[in-house]
Structure 1
Amino acid sequence: MKFDLDTAWKDTMGLLSRNFGLLAVLAGVFFFLPYAGFMIAVPEMGAMQSAQAGGDFEVVMAAVTELYLEYWWVFLLLALIQGVGLLGMLALVRRRANPTVGEALATGARSVPSYIAAQLLQTALIVIVATLLLTVGALTGLSALAVLGGIIAFVITCYIVTKLSLAAPVIAIEGQLNPVKALQRSWSLTRGNSMRLFLFYLLLTVAFIVVSAVVSLVLGLVFALAGEQGALLGEAIVSGLLNAVMFVLMVCVMAAVHTQFSRLATAPQPDAED
């Protein structure tokens, strides 16, 4: 049996509609307020975004490096807060025991070390594979092979991210706290459906980017009318709002996809290569 994009989208919207009130409150606490507060407290974020808009890769990398070196502890704290929120929301919408909000957040707090460890392992795998491919291409001295190595590295990165994308729901919903086993479970669940799942993620990502760009442009112009300080405050509010919306959708998408793949895993199906 194959992963069905239409069913995944309908299940996502169903989860969102049934849990919208609670998800909105939790998203405000764990995603909107921390991110908006960070944007307001760290003016360098604005400089980094301006560098990104300029399109100069070296300038962007310099700004990102400087920002992370100076505020690494803030990024770590933000990752912990958002990790607890993400895992808690996943447990809330899909745990079979129907936990209370407090129980779901407690699950998120217990699970966040496993989630972060899984993310670090995934990042390490991507870095190792990409570095090997890029290094081989560079050592040949041929620009065409270097470019080809970069393309292959990008494709493999997308593949790995897709295959391991269900680690968070495996941890939060199934209660698997071993990060290696969570990654293995995600890899196993998506077997035979990697391309379909990647297409689903790609369509959602493109749609979100387009809508986010329009919303940012419109609200940015509105806040710009209030002057420089109003524009900075507006940028923080809009960024925090989009961050919260993104995570709410991410939770519902991951929960819906995990549910469908869990059903597929228990159904008889022929062997498939992905």
Structure 2
Amino acid sequence: MKFDLDKAWRDAMSLLKANLGLLVTIAGVFYFLPYAAATSFIPEMSQLANPGAGMNADAMMAVMQSMVAKYWWLFLALMIVGGIGNLAMLALMRQRAKPTVAEALETGVKSIATYLGAQVIQAGLIVLVIFFLVGLPGVVGGRALAALGMVLAFVVTLYIIIKLTLVSPVIAMDGEMNPVAAIRKSWTLTKGNSLRLFLFFALLVIAFLVISSVVSLVATLLLAFASAEIASFGMAVVEAATNAIAVVVGACILAAIHAQLARLHSRDEITIEI
């Protein structure tokens, strides 16, 4: 059987309804507050979120590079804190031996090293793809071959991201503490459903972009007559809240996908044995 997009969404909404209070609390502590504080602390983040009329792509890239070079330690801290929160939310939605909030947070803390290790491996794979499909062809064959390589690298990178989508649920919900084993299991669970998962995530991303754009536009209009400081703080709060909500819904979706694909995988194994 194949991955059912509609069932995944319905299961995700059921998980959200059943765990809403606890998930919002964790997201508030591990996503909303840190992101809102970082946005207020780093002026470049507000500048990128609300670029001026004269800021083109090159100017935005320059601001981003300067910001990363200056505040890399803060982004690393946000990544660790956010990773713990994400793992805790996923652990909270385990179907078997449903944990308490304290146990879910403990899982997040204990699993963060595995999670970061898997992220490093994934980043390494993507770097290798770019090197072999863009870097080398660019040196050997010039711009035309490099441009073709960029298209291929984009497709392969998307494929890798889709195949490793379930790394976090495998770590938090299955208790896998080996990053390589977590990557291997995610790759196995998504086998035969990569295209369906891509379409599902593409629809979710489009929906999120539309909703976040509308929310940002409404917030901008409401804060238009406020002082610059209040407007900046207000937009930081709105963006942090939007991201926190997206993280909560995303965790429920990953948990639902993991549960469905795990059931399908087990059913396939039983069929093969019979």
Which TM-score tier does this pair reach, normalised by the shorter chain? over 0.9
Who is 2:148 aligned against? 148
SS in 2 for 1:96: coil
User: Would the alpha carbon gap of residues 92 and 179 (structure 1) be closer, same or farther in structure 2, given more than 3 Å must change?
Assistant: same
Tell me how far 1:95 sits from its aligned partner: 4.8
Distance change in 2, residues 1:83/1:159 (3 Å): same
The residue aligned with 1:168 is 168
The letter for the 2-side match of 1:190 is: T
Give the aligned partner of residue 21 of structure 2: 21
1:259 aligns to 2:259 (yes or no): yes
CA distance in 2: counterparts of 1:53 and 1:82, whole angstroms: 32
1:51/1:59 contact within 8 Å kept: no
C-alpha separation in 1, matches of 2:250 and 2:222: 28
Contact 2:44 2:64 in 1 (8 A): no
Q: Which residue of 2 aligns with 1:130?
A: 130
Query: What is aligned with 2:74?
Result: 74
State the AA in 1 paired with 2:154. F
Matched residues in 1 for 2:77 and 2:232: separation? 23
Range 182-191 or range 225-234, more displaced: 225-234
SS in 1 for 2:223: helix
Q: 1:93 to 1:52 in 2, by over 3 A?
A: farther
| Superposed CA offset, 1:192-244 (max 9, x none) | 11100111111101111110011011112112221211210111111101110
Cα distance, 1:124–1:51 mapped onto 2, change above 3 Å: farther
TM-score between both structures, scaled by the size of structure 1 = 0.94
In 1, Cα distance between the equivalents of 2:79 and 2:139? 36
Range with bigger deviation, 111-120 or 132-141 = 132-141
Change (3 A) 1:30 1:12: same
Please, what is the CA RMSD of the aligned residues?
Answer: 1.8
Cα offset for 1:159?
A: 0.3
CA distance in 1, matches of 2:41, 2:142: 46
Shift in CA distance, 207/53, structure 1 to aligned 2, threshold 3 Å = farther
- Residue type matched to 1:173 in 2? M
Percent of aligned pairs with the same residue?
48
Q: CA deviation at 1:258?
A: 0.2
Once the two structures are superposed, residues 158-199 of structure 1 have per-residue CA deviations (whole angstroms, 9 ceiling, x without a partner) of 100000010000000000010010000000100111100111
State the AA in 1 paired with 2:111.
Answer: S
User: Which structure 2 segments of 5+ residues have no match?
Assistant: none
Deviation string 1:247-272 (CA, Å, 9 cap, x unpaired) is: 1011001000000010011112799x
SS in 1 for 2:191: coil
Residues paired across the two proteins, number: 271
Summarize the Cα distance change of 1:97–1:3 in structure 2 as closer, same or farther, 3 Å threshold: same
TM, length-normalised to structure 2: 0.94
SS in 2 for 1:19: helix
Contact map agreement 2:189 2:265 (CA 8 A) in 1: yes
- Cross-structure match for 2:221: 221
Q: Return 5+ residue gaps in structure 1 as ranges.
A: none
Q: Given the superposition, is the C-alpha separation of residues 193 and 63 from structure 1 closer, same or farther in structure 2, using an over 3 Å criterion?
A: same
- Provide the residue aligned with 2:88 in structure 1: 88
For residues 171 and 128 of structure 1, what CA distance do their matches in structure 2 show?
A: 24
1:49 corresponds to which residue? 49
Whether the 8 Å CA contact 2:87–2:107 is kept in 1: the answer is yes
